[in-house]
């Protein structure tokens, strides 16, 4: 058990080191969400505040940027895994006595930690531009935790695809799936303004609850019901993606 | 230098011997030598119906170098992947150091060292990082890790390059690093899949020396695949020749060579258009020869006494009006064994040396 934890620790370090040495991939995970944040706030901010009766559209838009950054950061595992498989390095790892699960966890934790860092930077930039934080300093920490857990849960999906297919294109496609999920959630307007079919889709979309949980912390404060729903939605994602990733891994050595 | 491999290990031989014998009790023990690798009817089918490995039996004793010889696509890598738990056999069974490769996969993994075909390395890590991670995942005691990695880097002559990224290494350096990575935990059984393919002669020789030293000084068992006959001849105590998933010949190189008759007479015909069939018939009619075959533009004759066979052969061809370009007499090589068993020469795919070894090595 302790051996396995040490293995996971070493593999997580390896995953983080890779990103430090190949920063090109990581830069977009900061740049794209902040760019969209600036553009949406600039273009829709005034209109939306009036139309939706919002006090601060920046606060409203911030969680969207965070989830974009988190999903981008959490898609690294899948690409790195495909590279390992193509290079044959993954076989070398499979040949070691470490339990299979540590190969998956090492990647997932690497993503989770990077997502927390990405989120911290996005939160800081947001704070500078006046998003505010109703839940106080602890609210920032709560958002970091939510984002990190979301990153862990979400990364499992891409990892499953990477392990199952070994194909870079497929791994990429796994990441793109996030966009419909994000835009079928109340990303730009509150759910009350959705047409009924979209509102229905938003209601069954787990991303909705993660978004609303973070949004509550920023614009309302400690709304435990919404925070609980966000945690539950993350748990649902994890409950689907984790077994999927482990199944794909087992399939690889059959 | 290789004493380094043995030094701390000297503390455990009795324990190891005990364990090995204890778990080998279900296997054949011939005298006191236990089997390191055993396979029975090992088969792997790839969908829809390609029998990459088509029912092979192996009995490899501890302390031996076993050469697995075969052309590209003959099933060498598939065999290694099954023996090292990366791939499930479709049928049959195998044990390594007494442990079943399917049921006790984790135990097998902890006991063997493996260097796969095409050095499988992460190009973004440095050489030292590669070995450190490897040592940790193989559970080398924490206090020994740095020392062990330092020793290995020295042994494979990568000390200077240790802190550079693997992506900057030459092919020979990568192969040496890959070999070192297979040795971090001092395995008693090491699998090497084409360890010298594509290497220049100097790098190839270096790898050969490592293998020989480890085997001679520390009794490490090697299972190595190769497309190079001279490699098998030089290193292996025993070879098996693979052809389309089956073992077509197996034994000590000297035994195999002796088995095909004492001498090989090769008669190259003058004209490529000459009817080799007529030549074949003419030579076969002589009688008393072990075997006669046509290979390309030559007739190859296996016979107990080559020198006294030359005259009748040339005479017979002359009578059949087949013009002879050249006649050579040779002791049999593994190439002749291969030819005899498979009907063709082995074709190594990537013979070209890959340029001069990196200056930093
Ligand atoms: N994963 C696989 N799926 C399908 N066919 C495979 C796979 N791996 C190997 N093969 C096929 O099995 C045969 C044996 O391959 P291999 O064991 O790699 O031979 P060798 O190592 O002797 O060159 C080849 O025809 C190869 O194309
Ligand atoms: Mg091969």
Q: Where do the structural domains in chain B lie, given as residue ranges? A: 9-256, 261-331
Rounded Cα distance between B135 and B289, Å, is 57
B213 with B234: CB under 8 angstroms?
no
**Of the given ranges (A169-178, B21-30, B219-228), which has the lowest mean pLDDT?**
B21-30
In the numeric block, the tokens 């340029």 are attached to B355
List the domain range (segments joined by +) for residue A135: 2-252
Cα-to-chain-centroid distance, residue B8: 29
ipTM value: 0.89
- Chain B positions touching A22 (Cβ under 8 A) are 124
Whole-number percent of chain B with pLDDT over 90: 51
Confidence grade of residue A226 (pLDDT, cut at 50, 70, 90) = very high
Atom number of ligand 1 nearest to Cα B71: 22
Q: What is the pTM of this model?
A: 0.82
CA of A136: how far to CAs of A41, A166, A221, B61, in Å? 22, 44, 8, 70
Nearest to B80 by CA among B51, B98, B120, B53: B53
Whole-number percent of chain A with pLDDT over 70: 100
Q: Domain B9-256 maps to which CATH number in 3.40.50.300, 1.10.10.10, 1.25.40.20, 3.30.70.100?
A: 3.40.50.300
Q: β-pairing, B238-243 with B221-226?
A: unpaired
Rounded Cα distance between B90 and A216, Å, is 55
Q: What is the pLDDT of residue B5?
A: 46
- Better pLDDT: B106 or B351: B106
Two structure tokens written together for A40: 């949406």
Confidence grade of residue B95 (pLDDT, cut at 50, 70, 90) = very high
Shortest Cα–Cα distance, A41 to chain B (Å): 39
Shortest Cα–Cα distance, B117 to chain A (Å): 9
A15 with A107: CB under 8 angstroms?
yes
**Mean pLDDT of the B254-265 span:** 79
pLDDT of A55-82, one tens digit each? 788 888 899 999 999 999 888 889 999 9
CA of B191: how far to CAs of A95, A203, A249, B31, B355, in Å? 11, 55, 23, 25, 26
pLDDT of B306-349, one tens digit each? 888 888 888 888 888 888 888 888 877 777 778 777 877 776 55
Ligand 1 pocket test: pick from B73, B116, B223 the residue with the most ligand atoms within 8 Å of its Cβ. B73
Asked whether the predicted pLDDT for residue A205 surpasses 80, the reply is yes
Helix (H), strand (E) at residue B300: strand B298-303
Two structure tokens written together for B151: 């020793």
Looking at every residue in chain B, the average pLDDT score rounds to: 84
Residues, CB-to-ion distance under 5 Å, ligand 2: B 76-77, 117
CA of A243 to the centre of ligand 1 (A): 30
pLDDT of B120-162, one tens digit each? 899 999 999 999 999 999 999 999 999 999 999 999 999 999 9
Q: Domain B261-331 maps to which CATH number in 3.90.470.20, 2.60.40.10, 3.40.50.720, 3.30.70.980?
A: 3.30.70.980
Rounded Cα distance between A53 and A141, Å, is 28
CB-count exposure of residue A88 (10 Å: 0-12, 13-18, 19+): middle
**Of the given ranges (A230-239, B16-25, B295-304), which has the lowest mean pLDDT?**
B16-25
B94 with B85: CB under 8 angstroms?
no
Q: What is the pLDDT of residue B20?
A: 39
Q: What is the dihedral of CA B282, B285, B288, B293, to 10 degrees?
A: 50
Q: What is the pLDDT of residue A189?
A: 80
Two structure tokens written together for B180: 């070192």
Rounded Cα distance between B92 and B44, Å, is 9
B84–A95 C-beta distance less than 8 A: yes
CA of B312 to the centre of ligand 1 (A): 45
A91–B86 C-beta distance less than 8 A: yes
Q: What is the pLDDT of residue B272?
A: 63
Asked whether the predicted pLDDT for residue B21 surpasses 70, the reply is no
Q: What is the pLDDT of residue B348?
A: 55
Q: β-pairing, B263-269 with B324-330?
A: antiparallel
Distant-in-sequence, close-in-space partners of A62: CB < 8 Å, separation ≥ 6: A37, A122, A123, A126, A131, A214, A215, A218
Q: β-pairing, B221-226 with B189-193?
A: parallel
Rg (CA), chain B: 23
Atom number of ligand 1 nearest to Cα B79: 17
**Mean pLDDT of the A199-210 span:** 91
Two structure tokens written together for A181: 């999920």
Nearest-CB residue to A97 (from B121, B138, B181): B138
B136–A91 C-beta distance less than 8 A: no
Atom number of ligand 1 nearest to Cα B227: 22
Helix (H), strand (E) at residue B226: strand B221-226
B123, closest residue in chain A (CA to CA): A87
CA angle A242, A246, A247 (to 5 degrees): 115
Confidence grade of residue B357 (pLDDT, cut at 50, 70, 90) = very low
Q: What is the pLDDT of residue B361?
A: 33
Helix (H), strand (E) at residue B249: strand B246-251
Asked whether the predicted pLDDT for residue B274 surpasses 90, the reply is no
Ligand 1 pocket residue status of B44, Cβ below 6 Å: no
Confidence grade of residue A179 (pLDDT, cut at 50, 70, 90) = confident
Cα-to-chain-centroid distance, residue B246: 15
Q: What is the pLDDT of residue A44?
A: 80
Shortest Cα–Cα distance, B82 to chain A (Å): 10
Q: What is the pLDDT of residue B273?
A: 62
Nearest-CB residue to A87 (from B87, B122, B138): B122
Q: β-pairing, B65-70 with B221-226?
A: parallel
Residue in B126, B137, B145, B190 to test binding to A, most A beta-carbons within 10 Å = B137
Tally the domains of chain A: 1
Q: Could you count the other beta carbons within 10 Å of the beta carbon of residue A1?
A: 6
Q: What is the pLDDT of residue A45?
A: 79
Ligand 1 pocket residue status of B73, Cβ below 6 Å: yes
Interface check A3 vs B, CB under 8 A? yes
Taken in order A49, A54, A58, A63, is the CA torsion positive or negative?
negative
Instruction: Determine if the peptide bond prior to B150 is cis (ω within 30°).
Output: no
Rounded Cα distance between B217 and B189, Å, is 14
Q: Which residue owns the Cα nearest ligand 1 atom 4?
A: B46
DSSP secondary structure letters along chain A: -HHHHHHHHHHHHHHHHHHHH-HHHHHHHHHHHHHHHHHHHHHHHHHHHHHHT-S-HHHHHHHHHHHHHHHHHHTHHHHHHHHHHHHTHHHHHHHSSS-HHHHHHHHHHHHHHHHHHHHHHHHHHHHHTT---TT-HHHHHHHHHHHHHHHHHHHHHHHHHHHHH--HHHHHHHHHTHHHHHHTSSSSS-GGGS-HHHHHHHHH-HHHHHHHHHHHHHHT---HHHHHHHHHHHHHHHHHHHHHHHHHHHHHT-
Phi-psi region of A231 (alpha: psi -120 to 50; beta: other; left: phi over 0): alpha
pLDDT of B33-72, one tens digit each? 689 999 999 999 998 899 999 999 999 999 999 999 998 9
- Better pLDDT: A137 or B30: A137
B177 with B130: CB under 8 angstroms?
yes
Nearest to B140 by CA among A125, A240, A97, A111: A97
Distant-in-sequence, close-in-space partners of B78: CB < 8 Å, separation ≥ 6: B44, B52, B53, B87
- Chain A positions touching B137 (Cβ under 8 A) are 7, 10, 93, 96-98
- Chain A positions touching B165 (Cβ under 8 A) are 21
A25 with A18: CB under 8 angstroms?
no
Looking at every residue in chain A, the average pLDDT score rounds to: 90
DSSP secondary structure letters along B108-162: HHHHEEEE-SS----TTSBHHHHHHHHHHHTT--GGGHHHHHHHHHHHTT-TTTT
pLDDT of A129-159, one tens digit each? 888 888 889 999 999 999 999 999 999 999 9
Nearest-CB residue to B120 (from A3, A10, A91): A91
Q: What is the pLDDT of residue B16?
A: 38
Residue in B122, B130, B166, B186 to test binding to A, most A beta-carbons within 10 Å = B122
pLDDT of A79-137, one tens digit each? 999 999 999 999 999 999 999 899 999 999 999 999 999 999 999 999 998 888 888 89
């Amino acid at each position: 058990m302790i051996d396995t934890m040490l293995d996971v620790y070493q593999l997580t370090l390896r995953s983080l080191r890779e990103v430090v040495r190949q920063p090109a991939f990581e830069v977009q995970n900061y740049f794209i969400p902040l760019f969209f944040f600036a553009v949406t706030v600039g273009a829709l901010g005034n209109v939306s505040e009036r139309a939706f009766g919002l006090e601060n559209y920046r606060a409203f838009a911030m969680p969207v940027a965070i989830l974009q950054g988190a999903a981008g950061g959490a898609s690294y595992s899948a690409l790195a895994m495909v590279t390992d498989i193509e290079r044959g390095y993954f076989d070398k790892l499979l040949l070691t006595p470490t339990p299979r699960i540590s190969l998956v966890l090492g990647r997932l934790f690497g993503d989770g930690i990077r997502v927390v860092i990405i989120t911290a930077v996005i939160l800081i930039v947001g704070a500078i531009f006046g998003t505010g934080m109703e839940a106080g300093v602890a609210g920032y920490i709560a958002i970091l935790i939510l984002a990190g857990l979301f990153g862990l849960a979400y990364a499992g999906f891409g990892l499953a695809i990477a392990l199952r297919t070994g194909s870079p294109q497929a791994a990429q496609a796994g990441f793109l799936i996030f966009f419909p999920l994000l835009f079928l959630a109340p990303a730009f307007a509150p759910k009350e303004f959705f047409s009924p079919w979209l509102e229905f889709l938003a209601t069954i979309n787990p991303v909705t609850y993660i978004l609303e949980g973070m949004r509550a912390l920023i614009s309302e404060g400690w709304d435990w019901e919404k925070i609980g729903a966000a945690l539950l939605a993350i748990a649902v994602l994890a409950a689907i993606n984790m077994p999927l990733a482990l199944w794909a891994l087992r399939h690889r050595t059959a | 230098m290789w004493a380094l491999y043995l030094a701390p290990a000297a503390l455990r031989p009795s324990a190891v011997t005990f364990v090995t014998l204890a778990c080998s009790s279900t296997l054949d023990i011939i005298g006191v030598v236990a089997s390191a690798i055993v396979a029975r009817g090992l088969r792997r089918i790839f969908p829809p119906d390609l029998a990459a490995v088509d029912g092979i039996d192996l009995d490899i004793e501890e302390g031996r170098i076993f050469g697995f010889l075969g052309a590209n696509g003959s099933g060498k890598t598939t065999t290694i992947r099954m023996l090292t738990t990366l791939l499930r056999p479709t049928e049959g069974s195998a044990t390594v150091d007494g442990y079943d490769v399917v049921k006790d996969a984790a135990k097998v993994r902890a006991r063997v060292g493996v260097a796969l075909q095409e050095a499988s390395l992460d190009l973004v890590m440095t050489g030292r990082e590669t070995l450190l991670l490897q040592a940790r995942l193989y559970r080398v005691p924490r206090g020994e890790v740095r020392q062990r990695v330092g020793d290995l880097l020295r042994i494979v002559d990568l000390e200077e390059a240790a802190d550079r990224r693997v992506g900057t290494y030459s092919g020979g350096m990568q192969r040496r690093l890959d070999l070192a990575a297979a040795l971090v935990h001092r395995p008693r059984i090491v699998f090497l899949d084409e360890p010298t393919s594509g290497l220049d002669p100097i790098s190839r020789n270096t790898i050969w020396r490592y293998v020989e030293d480890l085997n001679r000084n520390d009794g490490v068992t090697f299972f190595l695949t190769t497309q190079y006959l001279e490699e098998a001849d030089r290193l292996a105590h025993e070879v098996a020749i693979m052809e389309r998933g089956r073992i077509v010949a197996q034994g000590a190189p000297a035994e195999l060579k002796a088995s095909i008759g004492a001498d090989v007479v090769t008669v190259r015909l003058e004209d490529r258009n000459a009817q080799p069939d007529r030549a074949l018939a003419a030579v076969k009619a002589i009688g008393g020869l072990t075997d006669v075959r046509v290979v390309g533009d030559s007739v190859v004759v296996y016979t107990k006494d080559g020198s006294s066979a030359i005259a009748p052969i040339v005479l017979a061809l002359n009578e059949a009006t087949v013009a002879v370009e050249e006649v050579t007499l040779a002791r049999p090589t593994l190439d002749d064994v291969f030819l005899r068993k498979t009907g063709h020469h082995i074709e190594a795919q990537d013979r070209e040396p890959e340029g001069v070894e990196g200056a930093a090595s």
